[in-house]
Structure 1
Amino acid sequence: MTMLSVEGLAVSRGGLPVLENIGFTLEAGHALVLRGPNGIGKTTLLRTLAGLQPALAGTVSMPPESMAYAAHSDGLKSTLTVRENMTFWASVYATHDIEPALDRMNLRNLDHRAAHSLSAGQKRRLGLARLLVTGRPIWVLDEPTVSLDTASVALFAEAVRGHLSTGGAALIATHIDLGLEEARVLDLAPFKAKPPEEGGMQGAFDEAFL
């Protein structure tokens, strides 16, 4: 079953096209890993897919209310405890049981701690634990392993495997090998936008603002 379909997508950053003619599908039970050098547009692509900025061209198809997006920010309320943060996000997504998420991301012994008192890695684990209470089948993740130690990367990879095993899907921008047998790799280098003088999309970008 196709969860996400992208056709002829073009995206921009800072007013300039960075990627164009992107096309792929993401199936239930599978992960797709985005690769490419720093600055090629991985974050821009994910933000566009998440609906945080408009595309220059192309189509993105997925079921409504099906995506959970985890960006560079952990999305935490610093004065709330770990448990209170998780309870808040569970209420946002109308889910209830946060206990499996606390266990899966090894947060049980931290549930009474305020978020501002956590280490960078602990905050990251808490931020990623939010995915487990969204109930959304498509996870879109931007460098999710930043600040995580080796053990925590393994915890996260196991959480992704669990999500895929229940029919979920994941789109992940990362340079880390997560050991996911279900994952395909999409190299974004071939989709780098051409300069306008070489037939790039500057004209299409201008039209979007006329």
Structure 2
Amino acid sequence: MSLRLQARQLACERDDRWLFVGLNVTLERGEILRVEGPNGSGKTTLLKILSGQLDDYEGALEFNGQPLRTCRDVFLANLLYLGHAPGVKAGLTPLENLAWYQALGGEPPDEAGCERALNDVGLAGFEDTPVGRLSAGQNRRVALARLTLTPRALWVLDEPFTALDREGVLMLEQRLSHHARTGGSVIITTHHALGGLERVRRLQLGSA
């Protein structure tokens, strides 16, 4: 299956300031695109545009050669977006958080799959501990378990290394590398060096 995301002549304005103008982006299968830039340059805004969450922009966005608005269901079926915040509920356990995301995505419940995903991110033994009692790094791992639990070809990740310890960083690096090698694609913002990963391209956003 093809996997090609393309944006042409993107422009976005916030608070009477242009974050970017005339921006062209192309992502092919097996690539990792690292979006860089200073604070306020529009990195998170761009990720939200490219993941179909925002529509107040100028320019064209296409998926596999079709306007995104005409193939939105197919696009979303291939997309997994993880925002800057972990996006987990403190009053729920890791298992309950993953089950909630499955229900939100219209997926059938799969407790065994949730347990495997948590084990993959090093949270075996913490499945039934309320997330509010876990560390920031463990909260991040709960969010990252979705990469295993919900297979998607296109990952859009906003600062996914935040709060991870050395072991967690290595785990995520390996997961990103494997995803790209097996034909997946990644758009990522991060302050972490990605020097050990192959097929990483950089997109620099400047301050406006």
Q: Same fold (TM over 0.5)?
A: yes
Deviations 1:151-186 (A, max 9, x none): 211111112223223321100011211321121111
Moved over 4 A (4+): none
Distance in structure 2 (CA, Å) of the matches to 1:53 and 1:77: 24
TM-score normalised by the chain length of structure 2: 0.83
Gaps of at least 5 residues in structure 2 are: 64-73
Distance in structure 2 (CA, Å) of the matches to 1:53 and 1:180: 29
Note the 1:113-152 alignment, pairs <5 A. 113-152=129-168
TM-score normalised by the chain length of structure 1: 0.82
Correspondence for 1:8: 9
SS at match of 2:88: coil
Cα root mean square deviation, aligned: 1.9
Contact 1:68 1:131 (C-alpha < 8 Å) held by counterparts: yes
Of 52, 57, 64, which residue of structure 1 is paired with 2:75? 64
Correspondence for 2:67: none
Letter in 2 for 1:187: Q
Letter in 2 for 1:68: L
Aligned residues: 191
Distance in structure 1 (CA, Å) of the matches to 2:139 and 2:17: 33
Distance in structure 2 (CA, Å) of the matches to 1:154 and 1:71: 20
Letter in 2 for 1:89: Y
Letter in 1 for 2:88: L
The structure with the larger Rg is 1
Contact 1:9 1:23 (C-alpha < 8 Å) held by counterparts: yes
Contact 2:34 2:189 (C-alpha < 8 Å) held by counterparts: yes
Identity within the alignment, %: 37
Correspondence for 1:31: 32
Deviations 1:64-108 (A, max 9, x none): 212221112211122211112122223333263224422321111
Contact 1:2 1:25 (C-alpha < 8 Å) held by counterparts: no
Note the 1:159-178 alignment, pairs <5 A. 159-178=175-194
Q: State the 1:50 CA deviation.
A: 2.4
Correspondence for 1:73: 85
Distance in structure 2 (CA, Å) of the matches to 1:119 and 1:143: 17
Distance 1:101 1:12, change over 3 A: farther
Distance in structure 2 (CA, Å) of the matches to 1:12 and 1:129: 34
Contact 1:9 1:55 (C-alpha < 8 Å) held by counterparts: no
Contact 1:5 1:24 (C-alpha < 8 Å) held by counterparts: yes
Q: Does 1:109 align with 2:125?
A: yes
Letter in 2 for 1:61: E
Letter in 2 for 1:92: L
Letter in 1 for 2:193: D
Q: State the 1:38 CA deviation.
A: 1.7
Contact 1:12 1:44 (C-alpha < 8 Å) held by counterparts: no
Q: State the 1:113 CA deviation.
A: 0.9
Q: State the 1:58 CA deviation.
A: 0.9
Correspondence for 1:205: none
Contact 2:8 2:25 (C-alpha < 8 Å) held by counterparts: yes
Task: Choose 128-137 or 2-11, whichever is displaced more.
Answer: 128-137
